[in-house]
Each structure stands twice: as C-alpha cells, then as structure tokens.
Amino acid sequence: MTKIIAVANHKGGSGKTTTTYYLGLALAASGRNTLLIDFDDQATLTNKLYKAWTPGQTTIADVLDGMALATALCQYDVGLQYVPADHRLAWIAARMQASSPNHAFLRRAWQRANMQPEYVLIDCPPSAGVLLINALALADWVLIPATPTEESYAGVLRMQAMIQEIACTLNHPVKPLGIMATMVSPSSISEQKYLNLMGEMEIGRVPRRVGQTADAELRSTYAEVAKTVIRILESER
C-alpha cells in the first residue's frame, strides 16, 4: 500500500524542501519506488530537481485543474519520479479557495491516477491555506521539519493542531510521523531547549551543513532517516 507523507511546517525556512528531496533520494536508494510532489507555488523543489520550469510543461497546477497526474510525471532517477510546480499554482489555489468544499482536489487527482508507488512525499507550502489542507486531506502521515528555534517550534505546535483538526473535521486518519530537527548546531546551548521539547517526536537530526561536502553529508544523514521512516511505517504491515 502506498504511504503518503506530507512534509509540512507553518514556519518557512524549516527545511521542508531539503527534507523532501534528500529523504526521497534515500527512499529510492533503498529500493522503494518513490514519488515527490512539489505543492508549493515557489517551486523550490522543482528548481532543485529540474533547474527550471519549461513553459508549456504540465505541472501540479494543471493536475489540480483536471489534467491526468500521469501527464505531469518527470523521471529524476531510478525509482524516483516527481511532479513539478510553477507560479500558476497560486492562481489555481485562489480558484480552489472559492470552491466549496475545497479540500479534496488533490485527493481526487490521486484517485483518478490509479498509481501505486511505495512512497509519496508532498513538499507543502508554509501557509495554512487551501493547498496545505489538500495535502493533509490526502496524506496518511505528516513529517514536520523544524529548526531548533522558537519560531519554528511554534510552527510545529500549529501544525500538530492542524493535523488534529483535519483528522476530526474531515474524518481522515492523518497522523504525525514525527519531527525532523534541521540545521542543528551541536554546540548551541540555546537550541537545546527546543530539541528537548521535540523529545520523543524527533525521528532524525540534521546538523547545519555548508561547503563542498554538504551534499554528501546530507545524503548520509537522510539515509539514516529513511531507515527510521521505513522501520516505523513498514512495521504496520
């Protein structure tokens, strides 16, 4: 059964796109067929995967507007596909907002697609708008990346409350998968308070990485996170 994970936090700059990208790479490298969906009109994940959006290329905006999900699929690597985004997603979101009900656009697109990857990771926008609601209404789990700061941890609390509200209001069994602590400075005393608050919900920790070795170090770190995610989710079989 496909495991759908929304990667979300109400605070921007928390590492959502980095987590989606590197966790997706790690899951695919472990032999799991993985699909990434860029669900943010800033299209940061798309730029990371493809460098630039080509005018006329089908994106998630077109899918939400009725086109088949399969027409937007792009191959990135063995076992790793993605659905790109572009600025038009903001326009589509405005139209979705005016609809009632407006929470099931992405779910309907997914159901029509009849696809069965093992994992789907949705890179969500930071705002608590219609796009995030649609992602949560489809997802089984929510992974919350957070830096060990007051603002980012406040985003975690808002995200947890929203997960509960979606589960209750829509009768949809979405659950928190855990918190991904990102951009951690091991020597920072001030950060320790928020790492302690994350507590048992923390499923991985990513030290702050810069320089030429950053990519290799992030790949290694997220490979361990992927093992944890696989252990948690595949033990439910």
Q: How far apart are CA 115 and CA 32, in angstroms?
A: 14
Question: Average pLDDT for residues 148-163, to the nearest whole number?
Answer: 94
**What is the tens place of the pLDDT at every residue in 83-126?**
999 999 999 999 999 988 899 999 999 999 989 999 999 999 99
Domain that holds residue 124: 3-234
Q: Measured between alpha carbons, how far is residue 168 from residues 34, 105, 113 in Å?
A: 29, 19, 26
Residue 51's pLDDT band (cuts 50, 70, 90): low
**Which among 20, 89, 12 is positioned nearest to 48, based on CA atoms?**
20
Residue with tokens 């929470």: 103
Residue 81, H or E segment? strand 80-83
The dihedrals phi and psi of 58, each to the nearest 5 degrees, come to -70, 135
Whether 54 has a pLDDT exceeding 80, the answer reads no
Q: How far apart are CA 41 and CA 179, in angstroms?
A: 24
Q: How many CB atoms lie within 10 A of CB 31?
A: 11
Amino acid (1-letter code) at residue 33: N
Chain mean position to CA 24: 10
8 A C-beta contact, residue 182 and residue 145: yes
The dihedrals phi and psi of 223, each to the nearest 5 degrees, come to -65, -40
Number of domains in the chain: 1
Question: Average pLDDT for residues 229-235, to the nearest whole number?
Answer: 93
CATH number at residue 64: 3.40.50.300
**What is the tens place of the pLDDT at every residue in 2-32?**
999 999 998 888 999 999 999 999 999 999 9
